[in-house]
Amino acid sequence: MWEFVTKNKNDIIYLSLLLFSVFIGPYYRRINIIEEKKVVGSLLGLFLIATVSGYSALHPILSGIFGIMAIKSTTIQKCHVTTFFFMFGYLTIFRLGERFGLSPSSGHTNLIEMIIVLRVVGVAFEMNGSYLAMIERKRGDRRDDRPKDRDEDFVELINPDYVNLFHYTFNYIGLLTGPYYRYRTYEDYFKLPFSKHVDCFGFTINTLKAVPLYVTLYLALSHLFPLEYVLTEEHNSRHFVYRMFYPWLLFAAFRQRIYAGMTLAESVCTSAGLGAYPVQGRNRSGHGPTVGYLKMKQMTTPEVEAAQYDFKTVESMEVWGCETVVTLRDSMKVWNKAVQYWVAMVVYKRFPLKAFKIHAALFVSVIWHGFHPGYFFCIYFCPFYLMAEDLYYHLYYKDATGTKKKIIGFIMWFLRSHSESYQAAAFLLLSIDRVWAYYSSVYHYWYFVWFGFFVLGLILNRVRLMLGPRVLVHTE
């Protein structure tokens, strides 16, 4: 037992701090003075950083402060670009600092730094986006042709001062491992009454109830099927089918760890009441309300008290969806949803070259995770798999019904799960020599399988296009 505690000391401390953050939520929620509440939230955040990181706490603190200075020292028209390159530049120095004689930081400090990057860069893009929206609104008002019922990402100019940027950046809610939430969501938490009327305790208990299962499965799977085993001679001497399916077990253990961490992180939000909105807002992870936002801000007290609420704004994982969706495209939509939203809004939709949008989004996602080659192997294979998957989806699954759809769906689920497990091996092994050692032990088979499926899909699609018109003529 003591050996287990010693080996997993950092994880136990991290888990304890997450549980502490959940526990203090109700007390934090009861603070009524807005400025006092913001200060307490920042102090708690700094306490968490210092406890997790020790002397390395200087990195997330300094990067956050310098990032805020980068935002405010440039115009609102350019602050998003300046801040983006500064924060990712600092992230690069932080991760490569050991090569230049700096003391290494823990993985948990790295997680906090990653969240700081999302918040500081995200708020800079919010500020710029709100500015552009105000310009567009003025033009539309002059032309009187702006849609009156269209929901808008930005209904007012977002331009917080230094103090509010500091409080947003270092607020304890979501600081340890997410989820990411916008500055608008943060401000709504203090200025709108929703958190006072939602059943925070009920939502938190409902969210937490699956965590013991995730933790138990993770401990069992990681003990029975350790990662390092794939690099041993014993593993290499096992049957090819065993070696081929071993990553399923590794990825299953990894998923349980992620589910546990993300669920606890969501519980920190639900416990404090951050991210609660009426369901009529059709709330989306990371974004918040997507319709009727201005009407919700103007709701009367009786309407607020009678409303139904959800916490979809701070929802990171759809666990059941992660396990059951048929396609990789859908799997990506339910995995770490808040970060997916950030990548889409900050990188994909804002990148100026349409042909390279997806590559820019993938590259930033890889760099945000880290500089290990395993991340590139894992993440950059996704669009290639999607090329083949989309072919078969439209050829066979999209228009199928009944039993046929279920059978095809199971086959596509199996292939999606197998591809994710194969990619996850690289994500977990990290270094090029370890990744190459495992992939060599299975002869890099999945790339050949994918290429064969892709070529066959192109041929089948071509045949369908050639025969389609003839079939229609014959029918007529």
Asked whether 157 and 131 are in contact (CB, 8 A), the reply is: yes
List the Cα angle 353/180/177 in 5-degree steps.
120
Query: Is pLDDT larger for residue 406 or for residue 12?
Result: 406
Q: Which two tokens stand for residue 97?
A: 């600092």
> Where does residue 443 fall: left (phi above 0), alpha (psi -120 to 50 degrees), or beta otherwise?
left
> Which three-class secondary structure state does DSSP give residue 314?
helix
> Which three-class secondary structure state does DSSP give residue 372?
coil
Q: How far apart are CA 440 and CA 443, in angstroms?
A: 5
Cα 282 to chain centroid, rounded: 19
Q: Which two tokens stand for residue 300?
A: 């009367």
Q: Which of 46, 177, 184 is nearest to 114 (CA)?
A: 177
List the Cα angle 193/195/197 in 5-degree steps.
80
Report helix angle 402-429 to 445-475, nearest 10: 160
pLDDT, position 56: 87
**Residue 438, CB half-sphere, CA atoms under 13 Å: how many?**
29
Is residue 473 very low, low, confident or very high in pLDDT (cuts 50, 70, 90)? very low
Quick check: is 369 catalytic?
Answer: yes
pTM above 0.85, yes or no: yes
pLDDT, position 105: 72
**Residue 240, CB half-sphere, CA atoms under 13 Å: how many?**
6
Residue 475: is its pLDDT beyond 80? no
Task: Summarize pLDDT for 132-185 with one digit per residue, the tens.
Answer: 988 887 776 554 444 443 445 677 889 999 999 999 999 999 999 889 999 999
Buried b (16+ CB within 10 A) or exposed e, 236-266: eeeeeeebbebbbbbbbbbbbbbbbbbbbbb
Q: Kind and range of the H or E element at 122? A: helix 107-143
Residue 309: is its pLDDT beyond 90? yes
DSSP states of 167-179:
HHHH-STTTTT--
Residue with tokens 């042909």: 355
Q: Print the SS3 string covering 272-293.
A: HCCCCEEHHHCCECCCECCCCH
Tell me the percentage of the chain whose pLDDT exceeds 70: 92
Task: Summarize pLDDT for 100-142 with one digit per residue, the tens.
Answer: 666 667 778 999 999 999 999 999 999 999 999 888 877 765 5
Q: How far apart are CA 386 and CA 406, in angstroms?
A: 20
Asked whether 397 and 460 are in contact (CB, 8 A), the reply is: no
Q: How far apart are CA 448 and CA 442, in angstroms?
A: 11
Quick check: is 159 catalytic?
Answer: no
Q: Which two tokens stand for residue 449?
A: 């399988």
Other residues' Cβ atoms within 10 Å of the Cβ of residue 419: 22
Task: Summarize pLDDT for 196-239 with one digit per residue, the tens.
Answer: 999 999 999 999 999 999 999 999 999 999 999 999 999 999 99
Q: Which two tokens stand for residue 156?
A: 């007012």
The residue annotated as part of the active site, out of 336, 359, 461, 474, is 336
* H helix intervals, 144-239: 162-170, 183-191, 200-208, 211-224, 233-237
Task: Summarize pLDDT for 54-110 with one digit per residue, the tens.
Answer: 888 999 999 999 999 999 999 999 999 999 999 999 999 888 877 766 666 777 899
pLDDT, position 123: 97
Task: Summarize pLDDT for 385-402 with one digit per residue, the tens.
Answer: 999 999 999 999 999 999
Q: Which two tokens stand for residue 107?
A: 């993985």
Mean pLDDT of the chain: 90
Which of 34-48, 261-275, 456-470 has the lowest average pLDDT?
456-470
The residue annotated as part of the active site, out of 197, 235, 236, 369, is 369
Q: How far apart are CA 144 and CA 123, in angstroms?
A: 30
Q: How far apart are CA 345 and CA 113, in angstroms?
A: 20
Residue with tokens 């995200």: 122
Q: Which of 183, 304, 245, 182 is nearest to 441 (CA)?
A: 245
State the amino acid at position 256 in one-letter form: Q
Q: How large is the average pLDDT for residues 421-432?
A: 95
pLDDT, position 104: 67
pLDDT, position 329: 92
Q: How far apart are CA 422 and CA 449, in angstroms?
A: 12
Q: Which two tokens stand for residue 216?
A: 């138990």
pLDDT, position 216: 95
Query: Is pLDDT larger for residue 146 or for residue 29?
Result: 29
Query: Is pLDDT larger for residue 233 or for residue 1?
Result: 233
Q: Which two tokens stand for residue 428?
A: 């977990």
pLDDT, position 136: 82
Q: What is the DSSP letter of 103?
A: P
Q: How far apart are CA 426 and CA 175, in angstroms?
A: 27
Residue 403: is its pLDDT beyond 70? yes
DSSP states of 59-99:
HHHHHHHHHHHHHHTS-TTTHHHHHHHHHHHHHHHHHHGGG
